[in-house]
Structure 1
Amino acid sequence: MLLYGSTDSGHSYKVRSFLLLSGTPHVYQWIDLAVPRPQRPAGFVSASRFGEVPVLIDEGLAYCQSNAILMHLAQRTNTFQGAASERQSILEWLSWETNRIGFSVPNLRYAQLWAHEPPEVLAYLRQRVMADLRVLNETLSCTEFLMPSGLTIADLSCAAYLFWLHQVDIAVADFPNIARWLELQRVMPRWEHPDTAMKPKLATA
């Protein structure tokens, strides 16, 4: 397998984290998102339907969009896919993540660190982030992971950007159930922080 991803891309990190934690052999190729799309590596340009990372190449086929890739990998490797009775709930969490955590956190992070948006924009995005974190924290108040069976792609998807909360001046300690949940992932064999896992170099696992 070949994974195209980039530094600071939590969506790429979702997939990289799955591959690392599951021990799935793969090659990680870093893509410089500062380079205009047409000038990026030809293999990536031809494989990336939307011109975005991540893209996974598996047996010659290209898979795009992080949560769709996670679903493919879970089925392909029979790993982190949960019990059969949990599949609908996992799909619901993946869909929730796309419109909530996967929107609010990266947009606040980008607006605060790189775009330097006006205060009212930052306030709106921060309000959304805090609302999403409260929902997630409340859910995790009565369960170790999002699914009773243990770690699934729902957790990997929802957690990806949260390892960077400190960059937007949010203390994860203010959400103790999320903090505990993230720590459970940190101590797993082969886990890597996104700053390490997404380094701009060729890496194998």
Structure 2
Amino acid sequence: MGRDFVYVILGGGVAAGYAALEFAKKGVSHGELCIISDEPVAPYERPALSKGFLHPEAPARLPGFHTCVGANEERLTPTWYTKHGIELMLGTRVEFVDTRSKTLHTTTEFITYKFLIIATGARALKLEEMGINGSNAENVCYLRDLGDATKLVKMMRMCRGGNAIVLGGGYIGMECAASLVMNKINVTIVFPGSHCSKHF
């Protein structure tokens, strides 16, 4: 059995949360909009994961950084979505999208839509994509979502006084490096250029 929506947003990050806020401001009707995310929590401000979430003292935690606090708007908690009649399908993976018939299939049902917004964002490169084995090693961390950040915090607590290598000299790499240092971990940053991100 399937369900019908006018609008479906794939992804549970910053773009999904801010899009939902704009839909609500424009008066989207209850039951017209659905957000599908494979994460178990409502959309949140991902930049917090490489900043406040990693701080050793008074770290940021949900619901403190649900969207749209980054723009000084109201915090969109799960209750907000319910109040505005926006369906949250959390912990749900989309297996197939048929753009001709405007249907998508999750692990449990199929959904039809009139308009599909793909807001899945980027993903972190795995070590194997760089020709290195070991992506799933216990001491290898990525930073893309809340689960990744939670694992990184656990590793930092276990490794105080130890050493870490950060691959990447952009914003996220530099912010992670700073957070590791704040957590009393020695850091080496590896990046392909002659200097860190030109934005610094």
Q: Structure 2 length as normaliser, TM-score?
A: 0.32
Higher relative contact order (CA 8 A, sep 6+): 1
Q: Which has the higher helix share?
A: 1
Larger radius of gyration: 2
